Amino acid sequence: MSVTAKRTARNGKAGIGGKGRLHRDHLIFLAFVAPNFLLLGLFTYWPMVYQSYLSLTRWDLISPTKQFVGLENYVVLFGGQEFQRVLFNTFYFTGTVLLGSIVLGLGLAVLLNQRLRGRNIVRSVVFAPVILSGAAIGLVWAYIFDPTYGLMRVLLGAIGLSSPSWLTDTKWAMPAIIIVYLWKNLGYSAIVYLAGLQNIPQDLYEAARVDGATPWQSFRNVTLPQLSPTTFFIVVTTILGSFQAFDIIAVMTKGGPVNATTTMVWYLYEEGFVAFRAGRAAAAAMILFVLMLAVTLVQVRYLQRRVHYS
Amino acid sequence: MDITADEARGRSRGVQETQSRWAGLGSVMQYVLLLLTALVFIVPLFWMATASLKGLQEIYTFPPVWVPTQPKWENYPKAWNAAPFTRFYINTLITTFFGVGLEIVNAALTAYALVFLRFPGKNLIFIVLLAALMIPVQVTILPNYLTIAALGWLNTYQGIILPGASVAFTAFLLRQHFLTLPTALLEAARLEGAGHLQLLWRIVLPLSRPVLVTGILISVVAKWNDFLWPLIVTNRLNMRVLPIGLSYLFDREGNNQWGIIMAATIFVVMPIVILFIWAQRHIISGLIAGATKG
């Protein structure tokens, strides 16, 4: 989104009023943007500066002095098994969610794009969880995953399987979190894909049919390429969104059992506010920030290219 | 994906005699998939709703009871009193109301200034605004906690509200819309002596109603559900907000009173459900705005 904006940044209107008001206009401009930019400065930009410094210190959030330790926190993080596990969990979570959002999201969008009775109601139901509280949804699913009395046991029982103790089993906790996260957010990628599908010009399909393309060929050669900007958008937003996942994990597993569901944000929360290792938490936050920045910059470059060639 | 293929196959065989059979089969398949999809998304919500009326015997039984035989309406008052939910509700209403209000005021003022007022280096300011989108709140929780603590604002409404009161995305959306408004109208009002605040309030905002409504709705949803920041900046029970209060009811060790927990869950999500039913289109259009304008 950011680059779209940059594209139009240059054609902002010249402003209202004659030359004589120039100076007063400047003051009014400042007055208008000041509250927003003061808050942005204090709570968005300054924290990043301060945090870069904190990440080079050892500090328990209480003692009056911070000990400068250089890059030690980063070295310890990348060298230790604990953080490697956190990175692995984060990529496991994000990768699976990404795959699910694209495959299931596209599948759902295609289905909901057919002329079927009741599709509008299904669209709404699929989308609704996106805007519901993650804490609430986490609790509903904690009950569904209850190994003895939960709904999941019924489902698995129907196909002859027994239920794992989802949230207390190190193997099954992460899949459970992924299922809940996907269930909650799938409606978003489905609706975005649906908008993408509806933007594909119908004459492309007509042309493909005239050329004798099979339905599968027109899906491969018309639908998929036409959707590639949409897919790209979903890839970026899904990665950024799942890097930030917190409330479902906080409610359902608290990063456990052991470290099985500790992702980056949960880790930095625990380091900072439970273990009181401010330097370590700050370093983890900086690493998370750089990862997310990299994803955003790829998006920016991609959009710039598109703007150039289209 | 198979479905389009199937359906299209049905269509393209229009001349063949098998056409109706294929199309019939294809559409039956589609309806089966549609029904399955609906079930996947409705059943958990249905489960939540019916469980909120179950007593302990009906919770702790297998196979589970789908519809409680004697609905236990008392779960709702019990849930309400299981934690100070009156207080949580008031807190959430306050942080949502003022959080949304400040965000929208900031967005409108910033967008107006960026579009209609002169200032040297305006583009640079716009870029500084957009760059803020690259810094997610999760990354800044530690230093922001320290700032709020230094200001003495832990366990206060301003501590919960202010760090989230600046806004980049909605300001951007409004700016894009303001650029499409006719300047002549504003010029005329300006010549009649209207100030910029008047122009914004009387002309620009009324002309931007749909974008404004969308921005407000997205903001309401985000503030109502916000979990991480309020968790960090409060530790007194009476300053907690709804999503955090809800998490208090869950005992990871087991023995959960699911009926009561589900009842609490329902009154946490209900306002947003009502909002969604009432303004679904605005919410969806706002949430995918970034996608379609990219």
pLDDT in tens, B135-162: 999 999 999 999 999 999 999 999 999 9
Q: Among B118, B130, B255, which would you mutate to test the A interface (most chain A Cβ atoms within 10 Å of its Cβ)?
A: B118
What is the DSSP secondary structure assignment for residue A21, as one 8-state letter?
G
Per the domain annotation, does A16 fall within a domain?
A: no
Taking only residues 104 to 133 of chain A, the set having a beta carbon closer than 8 angstroms to any beta carbon of chain B reads: 106-108, 110-114, 116, 118-119, 121-122, 124-133
Per the domain annotation, does A220 fall within a domain?
A: yes
Name the closest residue on chain B to residue A167, using Cα atoms: B252
pTM of the model: 0.88
A158 and chain B in contact, CB less than 8 A: no
Domain boundaries of chain B, sorted by first residue:
2-75, 83-248
What value does the mean pLDDT take over residues B20-48? Answer: 85
Residue A294 has pLDDT above 90, yes or no: yes
Structure tokens at B173: 């959306």
Residue range of the domain that includes A295: 73-309
Whether residue B6 and residue A215 make contact (CB cut-off 8 A), yes or no, is: yes
% chain B with pLDDT above 70:
89
User: CA of A81 to nearest chain B CA: how many angstroms apart?
Assistant: 22
- B83-248 carries CATH number 1.25.40.10: no
Torsion of CA B132, B138, B142, B146, to 10 degrees: 60
Per the domain annotation, does A284 fall within a domain?
A: yes
Per the domain annotation, does A28 fall within a domain?
A: no
Q: For A247-288, write each residue's pLDDT tens digit.
A: 999 999 999 899 999 999 999 999 999 999 999 999 999 999
Long-range contacts of the stretch A220-229 (C-beta < 8 A, 24+)? A223/A197, A223/B4, A226/A196, A226/A199, A226/A200, A227/A106, A227/A193, A227/A196, A227/A197, A227/A200, A229/A196, A229/A306, A229/B294
A191 and chain B in contact, CB less than 8 A: yes
Mean confidence (pLDDT) of chain B: 86
Give me the DSSP letters along B36-74. Answer: HHHHHHHHHHHHHHHHTT--HHHHS-SSPPSS-SS--TT
pLDDT for position B288: 72
The CATH code of the domain that includes A170 is 1.10.3720.10
Query: Residues of A195-208 as b/e, b for ≥16 C-beta within 10 angstroms?
Result: bbbeeeeeeebeeb
Q: Are the C-beta atoms of A189 and A101 separated by less than 8 Å?
A: yes
Residue A2 has pLDDT above 80, yes or no: no
Confidence of residue B22 (pLDDT cuts 50, 70, 90): low
Number of domains in chain A: 1
Per the domain annotation, does A213 fall within a domain?
A: yes
Per the domain annotation, does A41 fall within a domain?
A: no
Taking only residues 217 to 246 of chain A, the set having a beta carbon closer than 8 angstroms to any beta carbon of chain B reads: 218-219, 223, 229-230, 233-234, 237, 240, 243-244, 246
More confident: A209 or A88: A88
Element (H, E) at A57: strand A57-58
Per the domain annotation, does A268 fall within a domain?
A: yes
pLDDT for position A215: 84
* Max mean pLDDT range (B25-29, B46-50, B288-292): B46-50
